Structure 1
Amino acid sequence: MAKKLPYFDEQLSIAGRTGGSDDIALAAVAGRFIGAHPKLPPVYRLYSRQGFRRMEDCRYDIRLHDRFPEIRDGEYMYVWAKLWMDQDTTVPFSLSCYGPATVYINRSAAFASNLNDDVFPDRKAYFRTALRQGWNDIVLEFVKTGTGCGGKFGTGSVKGFPLHVLNPKLEGQEGWRCSKPQPVRWRPEELPGSDGQGSGTKEDADSWQSAPAWTAEQLKKGRFGRIFADAEIGETAYAWTKLSSVCPGAVKAALKGTSQGRCAVYLNGKAVFRSEAPGGSLYAEIVVPYGDSELIVESVRTGEEWGFELSAAVPDVGFSDAGQQPGAADAVGFKAPYPVEGLREPWLYAGPFVAGDEPEAGGLTRMDRPFGKGGRRTFWRADLPDTWVRPYLENAMYGKWNYPLGVTLYGILRTGLALGEPHYAEYAADFIEQSSRMHEYAIWDAEQYGAPGINHQLTLIDSLDDCGSFGAAMLEAHKYRGLQGAEAAAAHIANYISRKQDRLPDGTLYRTRGTTDFMQNTIWCDDLYMSTPFLVKYAELTGEPAYLDDAAQQFMLYREKLYMPDLQIMHHVYDLKHDKPNGVPWGRGNGWVLFSLTELLAAMPSSHRLRPGLVSFFRELCEGYVRLQGDNGLWHQVLTDPESYEEASCTSMFVYAFARGVRFGWLERPARYAKAALKGWEGLKERCIDKHGNVYGVCRGSGYSFSSRYYKDELTWQLNDTHGIGIVLLAGIEAKELGKFLVESNHQGAEPQRFGSV
């Protein structure tokens, strides 16, 4: 009968289900992650600049007293939005008040400001509230007083949950619906909502501000004229659509219309119409293949009215119908050039561009970068007042940029290479490239709108967590397959680490601020992983040794502050506020140190002046860690406390480092470490990986404490935590490589004493 292991019954363990094949175990872990997180692009939505702007902390700055100066003291205003949740969950929010405020979630009061909140607009009040699977209605109630009306509202976790909301009456658009000033407070049951409860009597249009719309005078100016009202004579704008045919094979058709301004039309990059006169009729005979063709209208402003009207159809006369497909007249038409939530017509618009700086029409049919140069760069717009297209990452995982996913993707990439299965490596490369190719756009987006809809951690870097881990994985993927935007993103990261990240006078990287007060003025051993692997790989990319030198020096500096010479392991954190280390050897923090040191040593020239000291440091740490390995082959959450839980991520990093240390000849007693590495990998397969590829026993993201009880009892493990999936894969790959190395060593007739004694 199978026995119960700490995380699951041994009958569920993958160890007994692979026929001794490590490849099967690796494929199960990588395949489970990929299956759970399919490739999905960003969602593109319309956004009105007339709405409330998000700040760098991703909260909306709702300044109703500025927007509606006519509001009187004592009057109420309401703003309403919808927020989608994939599952029932609890979400952190934050509010800073310009006056009294109440937050309603699905018609229930979730937060009400107090007297202190109401008069300190820079103070952040945090609260958590339950949200249901599906749509949730958020209604903010504000009261006008002498201090103002409104507040700064949004996420309480900018790093982990940078939420954006949708306008409930402008389907698909980001933003809020805003009420008119109200003399009487609305009752909860009167609030708008979609939960089927309450009367929702205040959903009527008379209670709310009207949505932005063109005036009759603006409509007369033509579509380019109203969208690009500030364009000068001689400047160029573009409209983009798809010409779609459902007929088999090619179909003959015609484009018909009129234009105001000098006009050209391009079909799949080829000009099919060009006018030299400033306006008039537009006609072109074309052949349309099955499917979607890219159609661009290019127009130069020549007068007050500026635009075009265009249709596609089978001509009535003067055009041979030989070979024409039956029903083709109904089967050719325009469709949106890209799915954009909230778009109600089949056109997008870009411009204006000054003469000589206009982009090539054939290079416009893309959604991943701004167009133009310098301060005149722009992106796609809709035919609505001040309304733009923006991408938003709404996937739980795929395409997200954060540090745990960096090591996850590094592991999946290496798994594909180790197994000779390119689909794993391609998945990792595609995942990373979704961020890297949007880097240029995300920087521009943040400049325009305050907080970007994608890549928020990379774009708004303010810590090593934001950049180093994922950046290192990006550079590994870039070596495998050149990634769009990778080198620009890497330069952005290198500039931050080398020139902006806080350092002590001796150059030590440290945290001068943090998402919580206790993180201020601290040195975390984790940050060796958040910095040095990237610096090593960036030195390789650029050929600049200064980056590798910086990485090497950090290990020597961190050793001075965090090393425990009696145990030959590391403290988790050095707190500069107390001028002492915290005294707790947290497993994963120590794992990051040793893992990162192997990355450095593997790339470091043998002649480097710091290499002897770093090899010695590596050996000392390995000696400390190998003594603490548990009977089951695993290491513990608190390394020196065998009563703390067996932790998978630190075990994986010690396996990884020991195996590399043996293969690369860094360790003086290789047999001892080979045995420990292989035992650790077997322990992971038996006790932490189930037959479905789920990974157990990975500590969740940590804070820090001077108390070991925090790490042991409060810092719990999570199923399939991304802090551990990739490093488990890397451990398995290195164990596999170690096994091959030991076999090859035997075949080569190595002397037994080469491996020393166990």
Structure 2
Amino acid sequence: MNKNSYFHQNESIAGKAKSDAHILATVAGRFIGANPKHPPVYRIFRAEGFRRGADYRYEMDLALRWPKLEDGQFVYVWGKLWSDGETEHPFSVSCYSPVRILVNGTQAFASNLNDDVFPDRSSYFRAGLGKGWNHIVLEFVKTATGCGGKFGTGSIKGFPMHILAPAADRDGQEGWVYSSPQTAAWEVMPGAGEENGADAILDQWYPQMTWTPQEWSAGCFARIYGERRGQIAYAWTKLENRSPSMQTVRFTGEYQGLLTVYLNGAPVYERQEQPSAGPLDLIFPIPFGIHDLVVRSTCAGAAWGVSLEIKGGTGDAAVPVRRIAPYPVEGLRDGWLYAGPFSAEHAPPPSVITRMDAVFGPDGERTFWRADMPGARIRPYLENAIYGKWNYPLGVTLYGILRTGEELKDPHYTNYAADHIEQCTSLHAYSVWDQEQYESPGVNHQLALIDSLDDCGSFGAAMLEAHKLRALTGAEAAAERIAHYISLEQSRLEDGTLYRTRGTTDFMKDTVWCDDLYMSTPFLSKYYELTGDLAYLNDAAKQFLHYKKLMFIPELGIMHHVFDFKFGKGNGVPWGRGNGWVLFSLTELLAVMPAGHADRPALMAFFRELCQGYKRLQGTQGLWHQVLTDPQSYAETSCTSMFIYAFARGVRFGWLEEAAPYVEAVLKGWDGLTRYAIDKYGNVYGVCRGSGYSFNKLYYKDQLSWQLNDTHGIGIVLLAGIETMKLRKHVSALSG
């Protein structure tokens, strides 16, 4: 085995694949196979439960829940969290009073004297999770300072976790359960063992689950929405006929309020006159398959509702028709979803009500589905590790897969990337509404809660590329939001340079990162293409010139990773991927910039300077290194791929005046990747994990380790392979 390879050379894809196209298909195929196209999971969310704030921590103020809580009493909060494997997870807690936190029965955190009297402070800790369900219990003690705290994820961007209810009668619902005040601490904790279920610890958990007898008698719409005379609400379920023949089915029940019953959008029963209450007896045919049954009802009094049950047909004794949930919603018990109330003039038609990706009604009446239990809302939660997630590494990953499909003329790849992106964009309007309602949206959290360039340009650029191939639902609204953030909300220096005045950690304050050229300028370039507004292109161009002034190292022809205004200097370390982002992004800008643009000569000169600097630092195996100037640092795959990509484009588009050295650098680099960094299964090695920054080179060399199949590198590898293929064709055509 070569000491500089990540695996035995017999496992290299270079020894197995006979073409670049084969390599691309293997890498992209492995990623797609590992991350299937699963939609969000829809769950019952209890409005009376603990809500997550914008920091994705749950607000657990038990003194408000139990106003008569006495000093020295205990309250217990219990939830469960799924993990796909054994891992260590970061958590954060702020304490209103003493708290102990137990994970699977083992204490993971106990507050100290400082924690207990500084409720605005956050304490961070890590706890081991096992594969499967992990039970988390918080023990709060009431004191004169209060009782409770805020608890949740310690990594908002990485894992905005949500908790599920552990009690059997709430299976599938999002949220915690909590106890009544307890006079003594529990010796046995819930969830500590298989035999230790909810009922074994406590008979009653809160929030309560049942309607009062009075609410139950008022009808489903009245107990969910109250008395809303003249307003309209919908109930939706589905019918499944498993018989290949038409079945005539009878439904019986009761109604309060004016109503119309629809099957697949066509009315099959109507009651729009007095009396507005009474028994129901409906008979209509049901063909084979699954069908939407929708009830539209208008409130005419204090009682308002409908109930329908299948009682049998006119022929067969056993009718093969059953009622099923209209959509898979975890925690749903009775198979009905409810939407409303709407004013008569704004009620949506039955033909558009049967959907799960959009809110209903105009401003002031917008709403989403509810269930027939106290405070039960329906919300989507993204529970996939990768598919359907919006973040910047996935932006470049999907860009690479999208381009792979185009190059191989295989819609399997382009559709996968576009479908992932559209799962995000189609829920954009919903997620903004969800954030307005609940502070922490269950999907698209980085798009709905944009607070940095990381949330914008990378995924946004991939989105606009996919939108060129097919119109994506919600893409242009999402792009408008991103453009507004970059142009009008992101912090800038006086000259307009994009700038970090704050960050997720203190050391990010008052810094400029070369990474941010990728998080902004490719999107700005593509948004210029979409809108024709030259202001976006001009902004992108100025960013490169501003960043050059701050971070270019002229004697090396490469870039500092970060300029820190706290010290008034660059950090002195030419990190590989940071430099790769600069050159990659510059090619994206130059590719769309008009030939006569005023800044093009300066940008072209900058591109050539950078290419010369990077070419000099290519390693003997064709790969560039984690610290570009230190050949003892590990060979890093993502920066290697970006230099290949940019050099190849520079040759193809005629930007590099002396092509031959760069053609050799591209071919040598691609050969190095396929021999030393990509194995025969399409696994990608040697991609540096997400970084912080330091003035210490050893941070990048020794602490900032590489990861297998990191999404910072997969798409870039694909793009490098595509550009290598195009370069081969280009040079062959020129040589005749």
TM-score (structure 1 length as normaliser): 0.95
Tell me how far apart the structure 1 counterparts of residues 3 and 280 of structure 2 sit (CA, whole Å).
77
Structure 2 residue 52 is matched with structure 1 residue 57: no
Residue 162 of structure 2 corresponds to which residue in structure 1? 164
Report if aligned partners of 2:105, 2:192 keep a CA contact under 8 Å in 1.
Answer: no
Counterpart of 1:211 (choices 194, 199, 208) is 208
Deviation per CA, 1:56-107, whole angstroms, max 9, x where unpaired? Answer: 0000000011111100111111100011111000000000000111101111
Greater Cα shift, 291-300 or 266-275: 266-275
Counterpart of 1:264 (choices 248, 260, 268) is 260
Instruction: Give the Å deviation of 1:258.
Output: 3.0
Residue 456 of structure 2 corresponds to which residue in structure 1? 467
CA 1:210 to 1:504, structure 2 compared with 1: closer, same or farther past 3 Å? closer
Residue 586 of structure 1 corresponds to which residue in structure 2? 575
Residue 174 of structure 2 corresponds to which residue in structure 1? 174
Structure 2 residue 364 is matched with structure 1 residue 375: yes
Greater Cα shift, 542-551 or 727-736: 542-551
Tell me how far apart the structure 1 counterparts of residues 280 and 384 of structure 2 sit (CA, whole Å).
43
Q: Mapping of 1:183-198 within 5 angstroms?
A: 183-187=183-187, 190-193=188-191, 195-196=193-194
Residue 225 of structure 1 corresponds to which residue in structure 2? 222
Deviation per CA, 1:588-611, whole angstroms, max 9, x where unpaired? Answer: 000000000000000001111111
Structure 2 residue 677 is matched with structure 1 residue 688: yes
CA 1:490 to 1:201, structure 2 compared with 1: closer, same or farther past 3 Å? closer
Residue 303 of structure 1 corresponds to which residue in structure 2? 301
Deviation per CA, 1:314-346, whole angstroms, max 9, x where unpaired? Answer: 444xxxx5xxxx56x431121100011111111
Structure 2 residue 353 is matched with structure 1 residue 364: yes
Report if aligned partners of 1:234, 1:355 keep a CA contact under 8 Å in 2.
Answer: yes
Instruction: Give the Å deviation of 1:4.
Output: 5.4
Q: Give the secondary structure class of the aligned counterpart of 2:364.
A: helix
Tell me how far apart the structure 1 counterparts of residues 498 and 305 of structure 2 sit (CA, whole Å).
56
Instruction: Give the Å deviation of 1:202.
Output: 7.9
CA 1:355 to 1:348, structure 2 compared with 1: closer, same or farther past 3 Å? same
Whichever residue aligns with residue 185 of structure 1, its letter is: A
CA 1:180 to 1:281, structure 2 compared with 1: closer, same or farther past 3 Å? closer
Instruction: Give the Å deviation of 1:284.
Output: 4.2
Whichever residue aligns with residue 218 of structure 1, its letter is: E
Instruction: Give the Å deviation of 1:679.
Output: 1.0
Structure 2 residue 606 is matched with structure 1 residue 617: yes
Whichever residue aligns with residue 286 of structure 1, its letter is: F
Residue 751 of structure 1 corresponds to which residue in structure 2? none
Instruction: Give the Å deviation of 1:249.
Output: 3.6
Instruction: Give the Å deviation of 1:200.
Output: 6.9
Q: Mapping of 1:541-690 within 5 angstroms?
A: 541-690=530-679
Tell me how far apart the structure 1 counterparts of residues 607 and 711 of structure 2 sit (CA, whole Å).
26
Tell me how far apart the structure 1 counterparts of residues 504 and 468 of structure 2 sit (CA, whole Å).
33
Tell me how far apart the structure 2 counterparts of residues 210 and 390 of structure 1 sit (CA, whole Å).
18
Tell me how far apart the structure 2 counterparts of residues 289 and 548 of structure 1 sit (CA, whole Å).
56
CA 1:200 to 1:423, structure 2 compared with 1: closer, same or farther past 3 Å? closer
Q: Give the secondary structure class of the aligned counterpart of 1:214.
A: coil
Instruction: Give the Å deviation of 1:194.
Output: 5.2
Report if aligned partners of 1:45, 1:392 keep a CA contact under 8 Å in 2.
Answer: yes
Tell me how far apart the structure 1 counterparts of residues 197 and 240 of structure 2 sit (CA, whole Å).
42
RMSD: 1.4
CA 1:512 to 1:314, structure 2 compared with 1: closer, same or farther past 3 Å? same
Whichever residue aligns with residue 420 of structure 1, its letter is: K
Tell me how far apart the structure 2 counterparts of residues 304 and 202 of structure 1 sit (CA, whole Å).
37
Tell me how far apart the structure 2 counterparts of residues 693 and 155 of structure 1 sit (CA, whole Å).
33
Q: Mapping of 1:87-98 within 5 angstroms?
A: 87-98=85-96
Deviation per CA, 1:386-422, whole angstroms, max 9, x where unpaired? Answer: 1100100111111111100000000001001100111
Q: Give the secondary structure class of the aligned counterpart of 2:678.
A: coil
Residue 466 of structure 2 corresponds to which residue in structure 1? 477
Structure 2 residue 106 is matched with structure 1 residue 108: yes
CA 1:181 to 1:668, structure 2 compared with 1: closer, same or farther past 3 Å? same
Greater Cα shift, 666-675 or 305-314: 305-314
Whichever residue aligns with residue 177 of structure 2, its letter is: R
Tell me how far apart the structure 1 counterparts of residues 625 and 471 of structure 2 sit (CA, whole Å).
39
Counterpart of 1:454 (choices 443, 446, 449) is 443
Deviation per CA, 1:693-732, whole angstroms, max 9, x where unpaired? Answer: 0000100000000011100111010000000000000000
Report if aligned partners of 1:584, 1:707 keep a CA contact under 8 Å in 2.
Answer: yes
Report if aligned partners of 2:249, 2:319 keep a CA contact under 8 Å in 1.
Answer: no
Q: Give the secondary structure class of the aligned counterpart of 1:657.
A: helix
Residue 389 of structure 2 corresponds to which residue in structure 1? 400
Report if aligned partners of 1:695, 1:720 keep a CA contact under 8 Å in 2.
Answer: yes
Instruction: Give the Å deviation of 1:186.
Output: 1.6
Tell me how far apart the structure 1 counterparts of residues 400 and 174 of structure 2 sit (CA, whole Å).
35
Aligned residues: 732
Deviation per CA, 1:633-683, whole angstroms, max 9, x where unpaired? Answer: 110000001111110000000000000000001111111111111111111
Tell me how far apart the structure 2 counterparts of residues 5 and 252 of structure 1 sit (CA, whole Å).
72
Tell me how far apart the structure 2 counterparts of residues 665 and 523 of structure 1 sit (CA, whole Å).
31
Whichever residue aligns with residue 17 of structure 2, its letter is: T
Report if aligned partners of 2:47, 2:375 keep a CA contact under 8 Å in 1.
Answer: yes
CA 1:432 to 1:200, structure 2 compared with 1: closer, same or farther past 3 Å? closer
Report if aligned partners of 1:273, 1:283 keep a CA contact under 8 Å in 2.
Answer: no
Instruction: Give the Å deviation of 1:140.
Output: 0.3
Q: Mapping of 1:290-369 within 5 angstroms?
A: 290-316=288-314, 329-369=318-358
Q: Give the secondary structure class of the aligned counterpart of 2:580.
A: helix
Structure 2 residue 733 is matched with structure 1 residue 725: no
Deviation per CA, 1:199-231, whole angstroms, max 9, x where unpaired? Answer: 6798433464462321111111111111111x5
Deviation per CA, 1:504-560, whole angstroms, max 9, x where unpaired? Answer: 111110111111111111100000000000111111111211111111110011111
For structure 1, the residue ranges without an aligned partner over 5 or more in a row are 748-758
Report if aligned partners of 2:74, 2:139 keep a CA contact under 8 Å in 1.
Answer: yes
Report if aligned partners of 2:247, 2:313 keep a CA contact under 8 Å in 1.
Answer: no
Q: Give the secondary structure class of the aligned counterpart of 2:38.
A: coil
Residue 755 of structure 1 corresponds to which residue in structure 2? none
Q: Give the secondary structure class of the aligned counterpart of 1:117.
A: helix
Q: Give the secondary structure class of the aligned counterpart of 2:339.
A: strand
Tell me how far apart the structure 2 counterparts of residues 205 and 644 of structure 1 sit (CA, whole Å).
57
Residue 68 of structure 2 corresponds to which residue in structure 1? 70
TM-score (structure 2 length as normaliser): 0.98
Tell me how far apart the structure 1 counterparts of residues 468 and 48 of structure 2 sit (CA, whole Å).
44
Whichever residue aligns with residue 52 of structure 2, its letter is: R
Tell me how far apart the structure 2 counterparts of residues 206 and 9 of structure 1 sit (CA, whole Å).
59
Report if aligned partners of 2:400, 2:716 keep a CA contact under 8 Å in 1.
Answer: yes
Tell me how far apart the structure 2 counterparts of residues 627 and 270 of structure 1 sit (CA, whole Å).
71
For structure 2, the residue ranges without an aligned partner over 5 or more in a row are none
Q: Mapping of 1:716-755 within 5 angstroms?
A: 716-747=705-736
Instruction: Give the Å deviation of 1:496.
Output: 0.8
Whichever residue aligns with residue 267 of structure 1, its letter is: L
Residue 7 of structure 1 corresponds to which residue in structure 2? 6
Tell me how far apart the structure 1 counterparts of residues 601 and 267 of structure 2 sit (CA, whole Å).
65
Report if aligned partners of 1:166, 1:174 keep a CA contact under 8 Å in 2.
Answer: yes
Instruction: Give the Å deviation of 1:251.
Output: 2.3
CA 1:201 to 1:628, structure 2 compared with 1: closer, same or farther past 3 Å? closer
Report if aligned partners of 1:88, 1:132 keep a CA contact under 8 Å in 2.
Answer: yes
Tell me how far apart the structure 2 counterparts of residues 192 and 462 of structure 1 sit (CA, whole Å).
38
Tell me how far apart the structure 1 counterparts of residues 695 and 193 of structure 2 sit (CA, whole Å).
46
Report if aligned partners of 1:468, 1:493 keep a CA contact under 8 Å in 2.
Answer: yes
Whichever residue aligns with residue 6 of structure 2, its letter is: Y
Q: Give the secondary structure class of the aligned counterpart of 1:152.
A: strand
CA 1:194 to 1:264, structure 2 compared with 1: closer, same or farther past 3 Å? farther
Instruction: Give the Å deviation of 1:146.
Output: 1.0
Instruction: Give the Å deviation of 1:254.
Output: 3.6
Counterpart of 2:117 (choices 116, 119, 134) is 119
CA 1:505 to 1:203, structure 2 compared with 1: closer, same or farther past 3 Å? farther
Whichever residue aligns with residue 608 of structure 1, its letter is: H
Greater Cα shift, 272-281 or 213-222: 272-281
